[in-house]
Amino acid sequence: MKKIFFLACLFIISSCKDDNNPNQTDVDRKAILENLGNIIVVQYTALEERLNLLETALTNLEASPTLTNINAAQTAFNNTYKAWQSVQFLQFGPAESPALRTIFNFYPADTVEIVSAIQSGNTDVSTLGNDAQGLPALEFLLFGNEGNDQQVLDFITANEDALPLIFALIDKLQTQAKSVSDTWKNAYKSTFTNQEGVDVGSSFGIMTNAIISDMEAYCRDGKVGIPLGVRTLGTPQLNLIEGKKSNTSLTLLLTYIQAYKSFFKGATGLGYDDYLNTIGAKYNDQNLSDAILQQLAVVETKIGTLNEPFELEISNNKAAVEALYQELQKLTILLKIDMASSMSILITYQDADGD
């Protein structure tokens, strides 16, 4: 009931703000959407390219199963996982109906199901659960549980269906990424650019909900809060750390934040910051856009104080991780409350904690 009342109030406030703020009519929303759409196309194209390079590295491994080629495949995988971070928060439009986030990054991987599939000769990805597919499954197969490259190589060479399953997993990711990328390049980008209002069904309405929701649920909580134990009465959930097996958790988090910041700024073109500046959005005594960019920088700095592996930081340096979580919480509030209301955009998704 409290949530319904809050959303109703926010809708009324937002509607009044749109009517009474003449600067709203000064925003060239179409130009901003055009630039952001171009960025989205570039980022999905980069994901496709990284997947193709990963496939090439694995083809080399298949032809010559050596530690050198295992390491090359691991590097290609890490680059692919980083490329995913740049589209993770863009799960709307063409990415929504196939549930691309679930296909790509449902973690932790069910290692028992993966090993069972290989040992039984099952390389049909469609028969596997979501947690036995995607990047986390590939991460397990390329890095193992112990981070021992020789053990990984031995497992792959000793199980003839290991590489066929790996290639099947990659093929599904390539197919899905290409489908979303092609749709963006063709019909959807024009649709996206021309739906330039701020109502619930507009591009800004849909996209803003998507990027804020992702920051809240999948970055603040998924990457930091849940492993830290925020949702489990302070008991850390170390098995729920993203990138744990590849020891890249903090690298992935930093990549995500940097990509998010770049998108907010429209890279070198028009972005959310220009929108907020045009309507004169303020936070205390400064531009709201500056406050958001400064908070993103604070988050980057907090990440920089931590070291891999992330699980040891949670166990041995919990206060620093809690400080990072609090800065992500401040960022979420700036986006969800201040930015959305300034832009007269109704938040339509439901969160877990009522923030």
pLDDT, one tens digit per residue, over 284-315 is: 999 999 999 999 999 999 999 999 999 999 99
Confidence of residue 18 (pLDDT cuts 50, 70, 90): very low
CB 351 within 8 A of CB 7: no
Compute CA distances 114 → 51, 100, 138, 143, 152, whole Å: 20, 20, 10, 14, 14
CB 214 within 8 A of CB 91: yes
Rounded mean pLDDT of the chain? Answer: 93
Region of poorest pLDDT, from 5-9, 30-34, 66-70: 5-9
Question: What does the pLDDT read at residue 89?
Answer: 98
Residue 195 CA from chain centroid, whole number: 24
pTM of full prediction above 0.85: yes
Q: Dihedral angle at the C-alpha atoms of 55, 58, 63, 66, nearest 10 degrees?
A: 160
Question: What does the pLDDT read at residue 146?
Answer: 79
Question: What does the pLDDT read at residue 352?
Answer: 57
Tell me how many degrees the CA angle 262-35-99 measures, rounded to the nearest 5.
75
Helix (H, G, I), strand (E, B) or coil at 269: coil
Q: Which conformational region is residue 296 in: left (phi greater than 0), alpha (psi within -120 to 50 degrees), or beta? A: alpha
Closest CA to 306 of 218, 223, 231: 223
Distance CA 81, CA 74 (A): 10
Distance CA 291, CA 139 (A): 36
